[in-house]
Amino acid sequence: MRYPREGYSDISIVICGEAGQGIQTVEEILVKASKRSGFHVFSVKEYMSRIRGGSNSTSIRIGVDPIRAPVRRMDIAVPLSKGALDHIKWRSDENSTILLDSNLADEPESYDHGPVVKVDIKNQTKEVGGPIYENTVSAGLICSLLDFDKAVIGDILKERFKDRQEDVYEKNLKALDSGFEIGRSIIEKGEFNVDLKASDETEDRILMKGIQSIALGAVSGGCDFISSYPMSPSTGVLVGLASRQKKYGIVAEQAEDEISAINMTLGAWYAGGRGMVTTSGGGYSLMAEGLSLAGMLEMPVVIHLAQRPGPATGLPTRTEQGDLFLALFSGHGEFPRVIFAPGTPEDGFNLTARAFDLADRFQIPVIIMTDQFMVDSYTDLDGGDLELKFPLRHIVRTDADYLRYRYSMNGISERGIPGYGEGIVNVDSDEHDEEGHITESMITRDLMMEKRMAKMEALREEALKPHMIGDGKGDIVICWGSTLETVKEAVDSIQENISILHISQLYPLSKKVNEVLSKCRRKICLENNYTGQLARLLRMETGLSVDHTILKYSGLPFTVEEVAESLGKYLATNGGEN
């Protein structure tokens, strides 16, 4: 079999096995090896909510052009456990090469597939040190088929196992050699041919997971405090900032629960810090009272909400865009907020940094929405797009006449902190007067509500414009968050006059959204949820209804093929000419 397939410039590889077999190790090795070998790379994983057993898979695309989206196409499959083939058979076709371990009883006979190449992975590990080295043998096998330099992978192994015992590194080197030997024997038999031309354009690019972009964006935004309770898939932000404590002077606190986490973070802002919490839907629900407290105190807070399917525990390791309304309507009472949904790692970095600035200037909660697909995906990108900025803090030295909630036309009162100046910084969760003292005066209530909500006018003026691709004169696909790159590749694959509108600031919406949607022909909204939450938000905010929705809620992200097929079907049945 020859790869890439005709018409493609990349190879799609899927490794599938049980939890505990080291699938993530294979992913890490292949992603790093691909980038260092002169190729662009993208990877995404799907895994069950269990520590051992089940079927988990990692999909890796390696190519000569930048890659940012998952595909259904599977060129090479490496099943490492019984049941693995059945788990990924929906991706198999007559051009899929299956590298099947001779020890596995699974025979792919009940569905379409290409050649089955018997390999001897498990037996090779017996000579190295046991099944624990299956992942490294598999990585070596694939790297050999891709004609990667073995020395490059050896360096990656040394980096990964440098803090382990010396024999662990040596055994992994032996496992790597075994994998390369298997790969060479396949190539010598003429069963496999890869023709990818490496370049030096990836040399200065960096590898990044989506979750890392949020953590680094927080650093750029001046974050110096994080308090969170671990919850998949959001925990990487807590880990990322904790690992940078000494370098950037960050306090990282693993709280006993999400209620404590958000209240600690509000306390950090009150004392002059810049804090955030990172959580998922269930944890965010527990933070609703603290969110309302931030609204009443006019206290800044940044919340990273990494979505996963609900309700309740739902599918804790899968992906979905089902929490938009949760973020928009959570909390009791009315108060301003901003909601971002980055579509790329670059967006994740820049929007998180922006979140800290907006939260500080407007003294409001700012919510950054990601999902499991985005935060767990690897890609290579231009490091020049990620510049640490460390913005100024918007606090004042108080005088003796300082009033924390002094009336102002734009709704923003100067924010002081205790001990910085002569004034008293009095805050209260009840309705209060300018000094921060509790009041039940109806007149004061009106004035304070109007003061807080007055911030919305300036927030709307500063709202980020949506990312527009195309002229907007024909049909337009509307998307948000992590679906951007998948939609872009799908639209490129079908020859139609289709524009894309990606909305990264979901609330308040930019006025540009209404302007664009008022001029297009038909509006097609694509979302990873059941009810079309963005479509409903657009109708609520602009009065415009979409013409068609493409929805998915299985717990898996859209693939390029799914989007292209759904768009093609809609256009074919409703007139595709523009």
User: Which are the contacts of 424, defined by CB distance < 8 A and separation ≥ 6?
Assistant: 398, 402, 435
Q: What is the reported pLDDT for 11?
A: 97
Residues 131 and 57 in one domain: yes
442: in domain: yes
Tokens 């007149």 appear where? 443
25: in domain: yes
Edge-to-edge strands of the sheet including 475-480? 467-469, 498-503, 475-480, 523-527, 548-551
pLDDT at 163 over 50: yes
390: in domain: no
Q: What is the reported pLDDT for 161?
A: 84
Q: What is the reported pLDDT for 576?
A: 55
Kindly report the CATH number assigned to the domain that includes residue 539. 3.40.50.920
Over residues 408-448, the pLDDT tens digits come to 999 999 999 999 999 999 999 999 999 999 999 999 999 99
Q: Tell me how many domains the chain contains.
A: 4
Q: 384 or 390: which carries more pLDDT confidence?
A: 384
149: in domain: yes
Q: What is the reported pLDDT for 578?
A: 45
Over residues 268-294, the pLDDT tens digits come to 999 999 999 999 999 999 999 999 999
Kindly report the CATH number assigned to the domain that includes residue 157. 3.40.920.10
Residues 401 and 354 in one domain: no
**pLDDT, average across residues 150-172:** 87
**pLDDT, average across residues 234-250:** 96
Query: Which of 183, 172, 261, 178 is closest to 225 using CA atoms?
Result: 261
391: in domain: no
Over residues 354-379, the pLDDT tens digits come to 999 999 999 999 999 999 999 999 99
Residues 227 and 188 in one domain: no
Q: What is the reported pLDDT for 495?
A: 74
Residues 235 and 154 in one domain: no
Q: What is the reported pLDDT for 110?
A: 61
* Domain limit, last residue, from 421, 445, 460: 460
* Domain limit, last residue, from 385, 420, 445: 385
58-72, 149-163, 332-346: range with lowest mean pLDDT: 149-163
Q: 164 or 247: which carries more pLDDT confidence?
A: 247
Residues 123 and 233 in one domain: no
The fraction of the chain above a pLDDT of 70, given in percent, is 98
Q: What is the reported pLDDT for 90?
A: 93
Q: What is the reported pLDDT for 132?
A: 87
Tokens 């290409």 appear where? 114
H helices present in 189-333, as ranges: 210-220, 235-242, 245-248, 258-270, 281-286, 288-297, 324-329
543: in domain: yes
Residue 6 belongs to domain spanning: 2-203
170: in domain: yes
Q: What is the reported pLDDT for 64?
A: 95
Residues 13 and 92 in one domain: yes
Residues 401 and 474 in one domain: no
* Domain limit, last residue, from 431, 460, 489: 460
Q: What is the reported pLDDT for 496?
A: 77
Tokens 């990108």 appear where? 381
The fraction of the chain above a pLDDT of 90, given in percent, is 85
Q: What is the pTM of this model?
A: 0.96
pLDDT at 394 over 50: yes
Residues 159 and 216 in one domain: no
Average model confidence (pLDDT) for the chain? 94
Over residues 35-48, the pLDDT tens digits come to 999 999 999 999 99
DSSP symbols for 461-479: HHPPPPEEES-SSSEEEEE
**pLDDT, average across residues 287-315:** 98
163: in domain: yes
Q: What is the reported pLDDT for 386?
A: 83
Report the b/e string of 481-516 with b at 16+ CB within 10 A.
Answer: bbbbbbbbbbbeeeeeebbbbbbbbbbbbbeebeeb
Kindly report the CATH number assigned to the domain that includes residue 261. 3.40.50.970
Listed ranges 472-476, 494-498, 524-528; the one with the highest mean pLDDT:
524-528
Residues 226 and 199 in one domain: no
102-111, 123-132, 215-224: range with lowest mean pLDDT: 102-111
Residues 86 and 36 in one domain: yes
Edge-to-edge strands of the sheet including 378-382? 116-119, 97-101, 76-79, 10-19, 53-63, 40-46, 378-382, 205-209
Residues 229 and 375 in one domain: yes
Give the confidence band of 107 by pLDDT, cuts at 50, 70, 90.
low
Residues 117 and 262 in one domain: no
Q: What is the reported pLDDT for 108?
A: 58
Backbone angles phi, psi at 501, to 5 degrees: -120, 110
Q: What is the reported pLDDT for 124?
A: 85
